[in-house]
Amino acid sequence: MSRVRFGNAWKSLIAGCTLVLLIVSGGGRHEVTAVEDSYERLKVFTEVLSLIQANYVEETKPRDLIYGGIKGMLETLDAHSSFLPPDVFKEMQVETQGSFGGLGIEITVKDRQLTVVAPIEGTPADRAGIHAGDRIVKIDGNPTKDMTLMEAVKKLRGPRGTRVILTILRDDSPGPFELSLTREVIEVRSVRAKGLDDGIAYIRIASFHERTGKDLQKAIEQLSKDGMSALVLDLRNNPGGLLNQAVQVSDLFLEKGQLIVYTEGRIKNQDLRFSAEHSTEIPKVPMVVLINGGSASASEIVAGALQDWKRAVVLGTKTFGKGSVQTVIPLSDGSGLRLTTAKYFTPKGRAIHGNGLHPDIVVESPRPTPTKATGAQGEKEGEPAKDRPNGRQDRKISEEEGDPNLQLGKRDGPDPGSDIQLKRAIEILKATQILEKGLVKRNAG
């Protein structure tokens, strides 16, 4: 009986939609045909749903089947359109807002164990005495080896004021020990900055979230007070984030009115242009931007704008080439729809999507020798392994291997002594400084 009512409801809805389309379009036949075709296909979907529920060997949940159908539908479009179940949608909102309830530790997988990269200063993890290199073997009594990295992150996060018990294994300790920590609101740092030699400053942007532009401005203002005369902007392995933050970051370095990025989509309201407003005055110093195959989306927008306007020398390797706009649409049950609606173009009209950006100066970074655990042979930089469609995070920690070059406890940036790309960037800026000083002396003479 319920199936009959469901079918009648759909017919009523489609009939209503058809009537509206007839009125709006003046009786255009193609709109009516599209609606009728969609209804026929929906009939097939509901038939399959009913057959699965009635005949499948195990009992199924309608929500799981419907979510699976939506997920499959979006997978036929492109790699970036996706369905976000309520828990994933909520997690995505946390990532872009830049704050969450947690402990304040950065983690990775090293030697197939969940390992602390570093505690964030002033957080519960820092105050509890967690060290870089500590291995977290259990979270609330649950062994971490059976979790994926994303599952471990979710278990470490939680509402402010709640407690979590970590079982820690430390090299200089006789055995595992437990620490009880209370979660607090943790502010995510997407911008890290430090001064190098000869007035050269280094700024790393790890991702673009709601405060990236403001955090970058503060960092530049402080570095300027310390005598910054040149800048390295590191966008390597930056997967992107919010478009408006990429615009704000580019705005800090460009002249007022200069185009930063524009988008083109099928619907006219997706055709947008973003130009520098230049409301904040910062020193205009020589710049080198570092990119690689892990630089995508918002980081490609920034690098492309600075490259097109010749504001910075772009150094490294070709970027990932993810230049499409995803609009995130909340749905009625708390889930979300991430839908590709437009594509990005640099100020000079270069299409980012599928092409990537080529650096002005190519400097390859030495790649670590792949091990059996990494499964890295044949993978391209910035791409997931082919035998793991959803990427490395889907593997259990006991099967996973992190970046063997990652220096535990090093949070302020790479070492110029061992980082070939950074070393080359510094050499270029030093040469620029020498040339500028010589030019000033000649003009003065």
Residue 404 pLDDT level (bands cut at 50, 70, 90)? low
Tokens of 64: 């799981």
pLDDT at 381: 36
**pLDDT confidence of residue 300:** 96
Domain extents in the chain: 2-60, 99-187+371-404, 191-368+410-432
Which residues, in sequence order, are CB contacts of 282 under 8 Å at separation 6+?
217, 220, 221, 224, 252, 253
Res. 444: pLDDT tops 60:
no
Distance CA 316, CA 361 (A): 7
How does the average pLDDT of the chain come out, rounded?
A: 81
- 81, 215, 322, 419: the active-site residue: 322
Determine contact, residues 242/208, Cβ cutoff 8 Å. Answer: yes
What's CA 249's distance to the chain center, in Å? 16
* pLDDT tens-place string over residues 70-88: 888 888 988 778 888 888 7
- The set of residues, in sequence order, having a beta carbon less than 8 Å from that of 382 and lying 6+ positions away, is 292, 293, 294, 295, 296, 319, 320
Are residues 70 and 82 in contact, defined by beta-carbon separation less than 8 angstroms? no
End-to-end CA distance of the chain: 96
Question: Which of these ranges, 27-36, 230-239, 285-294, has the smallest mean pLDDT?
Answer: 27-36
Q: In the predicted model, what is the mean pLDDT of residues 386-400?
A: 55
Topology classification of domain 191-368+410-432: 2-enoyl-CoA Hydratase; Chain A, domain 1 (3.90.226)
Residue 22: per-residue pLDDT: 31
The pLDDT assigned to 318 comes to 95
Burial group, residue 315, by CB count within 10 angstroms (0-12, 13-18, 19+): buried
Least confident of 14-18, 43-47, 217-221, 232-236: 14-18
- Here the contacts of 257-262 (C-beta below 8 Å, separation 24 or greater) are 258/305, 258/309, 258/347, 259/305, 259/347, 260/301, 260/305, 260/347, 261/301, 261/304, 261/305, 261/344, 261/345, 261/346, 261/347, 262/344, 262/345, 262/347
Q: Of how many residues is the chain composed?
A: 445
Mean pLDDT value across residues 101-130: 85
Contact 395, 388 (CB under 8 A): yes
Taking alpha carbons only, the member of 93, 113, 116 closest to residue 104 is 116
Pairwise CA distance, residues 295 & 238, whole Å: 5
Please check whether the domain covering 99-187+371-404 is classified as CATH 2.30.42.10: yes
User: For this structure, is 297 an active site residue?
Assistant: yes
Q: Of 147, 116, 214, nearest to 411 (Cα)? A: 116
Residue labelled with tokens 């943790």: 186
Higher confidence at residue 136 or residue 146? Answer: 136
Give the active site residue among 297, 299, 324, 335: 297
Report the alpha-carbon distance of residue 323 to residue 246 in Å, rounded: 13
- pLDDT of residue 34 exceeding 60, the answer is no
Greater model confidence, 440 or 290: 290
Q: Is 63 exposed, middle or buried (0-12, 13-18, 19+ CB in 10 A)?
A: exposed
User: Which residue would you say has higher pLDDT here, 377 or 82?
Assistant: 82
